Chains A and B, each alone.
Chain A
Amino acid sequence: EVQLVQSGSEVQKPGESVKISCKGSGYSFSNYWIGWVRQMPGKGLEWMGVIYPDDSDTRYNPSFQGQVTISADKSISTAYLQWTSLKASDTAMYYCARRAGTTPGLRFFDNWGQGTPVTVSS
């Protein structure tokens, strides 16, 4: 069974850094793109970017480029999303998800993590 298990909730102050994680199991983690999706309170889904764990090839939504860093450690089947200086506007639920496959027709997420809520408040 494919599973993506995310790290727990985070409460941070503006300007602080944080790194949340997403551990995959039940499949060959290295060979499937992993993405991150933001959902601000009461709002819709936003695609942040994806990473291919085998070679760390990373693609970002231009809206998030430079604001966050996506990384992965294939040796422990874990992907990460990190901020170096949080803002209150980063308060949201963050989901990791697995891309279904590498062909163009499979540009969608077929398995999702449970979500990590991040709250940024002074």
Chain B
Amino acid sequence: SYELTQPPSVSVSPGQTARITCSGDVLSKQYAIWYQQRPGQAPVSVIFKDSERPSGIPERFSGSSSGTTVTLTISGVQAEDEADYYCQSADSRGTWVFGGGTKVTVL
């Protein structure tokens, strides 16, 4: 099996930029996906294939990849972006894994 490591929490002021990292060896070979989960709701994908945005996701969400680390960037953070964020990937055998999650707090 493999692991994806995220920081437990990130705090950011409204209008500033939040960056969340996700690290794991598999990320050098496989795509990463990012999900947003607001309290009491099901997750929603906000980035797939490292940097692509599903339709309906605001442009302030972007993703990037470098080696074994991927980064979710939220530019111009809004209060509604306060949520848990999870990265996810899959190995070559088709086993998926989620990172431990990062709680984003908007100050």
Smallest CB separation, B46 vs chain A (Å): 11
The residue on A at minimum CB distance from B84 is A44
B43 at the interface (CB under 8 A from A): yes
Are B43 and A105 closer than 8 Å at their CB atoms?
no
Are A62 and B49 closer than 8 Å at their CB atoms?
no
**A contact residues, range:** 20 to 34
Contacts of B1 in A (CB 8 A): 62
B79 at the interface (CB under 8 A from A): no
Are B101 and A44 closer than 8 Å at their CB atoms?
yes
Please measure, in the bound complex, the distance between the C-alpha atom of A72 and the C-alpha atom of B73, giving whole angstroms. Answer: 37
Smallest CB separation, A56 vs chain B (Å): 16
A10-18, A73-81, A82-90, A107-115: which lies at the interface:
A107-115
A59 at the interface (CB under 8 A from B): yes
Residue of A61, A62, A109, A113 touching B45 (CB-CB under 8 A): A109
A120 at the interface (CB under 8 A from B): no
Please measure, in the bound complex, the distance between the C-alpha atom of A91 and the C-alpha atom of B85, giving whole angstroms. Answer: 22
A54 at the interface (CB under 8 A from B): no
B74 at the interface (CB under 8 A from A): no
Show 10 A/B contacts (Cβ-Cβ < 8 Å), sorted by A.
A45-B88, A45-B101, A47-B88, A47-B96, A47-B98, A95-B42, A97-B43, A107-B89, A110-B54, A115-B42
B residues at A contact (CB < 8 Å): 1, 30-31, 33, 35, 37, 42-45, 48-49, 54, 84, 86, 88-90, 94-101
Given contacts A45-B86, A47-B97, 11 further A-B contacts (CB under 8 A): A44-B99, A45-B35, A47-B96, A104-B31, A105-B31, A105-B49, A107-B89, A109-B35, A112-B43, A112-B44, A114-B42
